[in-house]
Amino acid sequence: MKTENKEFENSKNWERDVLTQLLKNYLVEQRRARMWSFVKWTIVFFFLAFFLILSFGQISKLGSVGSDIEPHTALISLTGAIQSDGDVDAHLVNESIRKAFRAPHSVGVILKINSPGGSPVQSALIYDEIVRLREENPDKSLVAVVEDIAASGAYYIASAAEKIYVNQSSIVGSIGVLFNGFGFSDLLKKYGVERRLLTAGENKAMLDPFSELNIKHKDETQKVLNEIHTHFINAVINQRGDILSNDPIVFSGMIFTGAKSIELGLSDELGSVNFVAKNFFKVESIIDYSVPSSLLEKFTEQLKSSFLKETIFTSLDLSGKFPIH
């Protein structure tokens, strides 16, 4: 009987020892997890704080732009696609242009352009603001300098300038509107897939890529494109009508070299940023008024892009934005 009790007690001790050891291991792992979580969030906090400090530093630096007491030529760079919250955003660009015009010691403004185009709305907003500021400040010129490319919406913006300078090999023009789409209806039939699309509003599914092309929808879309194209053409004519060539190719969507664009009246002269500052404005000192993207903003975008690598973006936003290309 004593032997049985002893074995029973040993068994209980063994179970207790195992449970105790398991509990200790669990507590150790929990402490490690908490410690790692603390370290991880501490690193993230300091990393974000670092970018915030640099970002606010850029913003404060922007506020002091144009404060120099010496005469200077103001420079604003338009680089990349024209779109809301993108590389060339009308709100930020117009803010820069207003600062450049208001600066008492800026003798004029150079708009340096390297853009293939983009949103017609954003392009028109910048165009309208340039025209307005030029009318309000007749003693201060704004000229455009095209480096690699000013096509489509970028040329829309450039046409608002008093003069357009180009390099002989610059790409200029593309005065047109582009709509991109695909049709997959036959593909669905091939694999026996039935399309079940419900809408309220007979035109809500206009140009749905998985439905047969509706001729009425195609014609209505073409009307929209033609109307936007007309807005584009009128804007260019309003600013450059006196020197534009009558050749219909000008508004056909064709692109031209800088040298050819001068022949057609789309541009005025050959010249670079430094050339214009020295020979047009007669002031070689240049201050950049471009609104910089904050480093935090860039960091956030990089984080977002890391989660969207498998996402396919199309050049058409079906919510209603037609890119000018």
Could you give the number of structural domains in the chain? 2
**Can you tell me whether residue 212 is helix, strand or coil?**
coil
Among the three residues 64, 93, 119, which one is the final residue of a domain in this structure? 64
Q: Is residue 42's pLDDT more than 80?
A: no
Residue 221 to residues 109, 129, 182, Cα–Cα distance (Å): 38, 29, 14
pLDDT tens digits for 271-293? Answer: 999 999 999 999 999 999 997 65
pLDDT tens digits for 209-233? Answer: 888 888 998 899 899 999 999 999 9
Among the three residues 16, 47, 64, which one is the final residue of a domain in this structure? 64
Res 308: pLDDT: 39
Q: Are residues 52 and 86 in the same domain?
A: no
Element (H, E) at 157: helix 153-158
**pTM greater than 0.75:** no
The domain containing residue 90 runs over which residues?
Answer: 68-176+215-307
CB atoms inside a 10 Å sphere around CB 264: 18
Residue 21 to residues 8, 14, 17, 76, 258, Cα–Cα distance (Å): 20, 11, 6, 68, 79
Which amino acid appears at position 9 of this protein? E
CA dist., res. 166 & res. 273, Å (int): 10
Q: Are residues 125 and 32 in the same domain?
A: no
Q: Are residues 40 and 100 in the same domain?
A: no
Q: Are residues 116 and 256 in the same domain?
A: yes
pLDDT tens digits for 110-153? Answer: 999 999 999 999 999 999 999 999 999 999 999 999 999 999 99
Assess if residue 200 is contained within a domain: no
Confidence category of residue 194, pLDDT binned at 50, 70, 90 = confident
Confidence category of residue 296, pLDDT binned at 50, 70, 90 = very low
CATH classification of the domain holding 161: 3.90.226.10
Q: Are residues 244 and 277 in the same domain?
A: yes
**Can you tell me whether residue 256 is helix, strand or coil?**
strand
Assess if residue 222 is contained within a domain: yes
User: Angle, to 10 degrees, between the axis of helix 120-136 and the axis of helix 215-240?
Assistant: 20
Q: Measured at the alpha carbon of residue 155, what is the angle toward residues 149 and 160, in degrees to the nearest 5?
A: 135
Q: Are residues 32 and 146 in the same domain?
A: no
Q: Are residues 82 and 121 in the same domain?
A: yes
Confidence category of residue 33, pLDDT binned at 50, 70, 90 = confident
Assess if residue 192 is contained within a domain: no
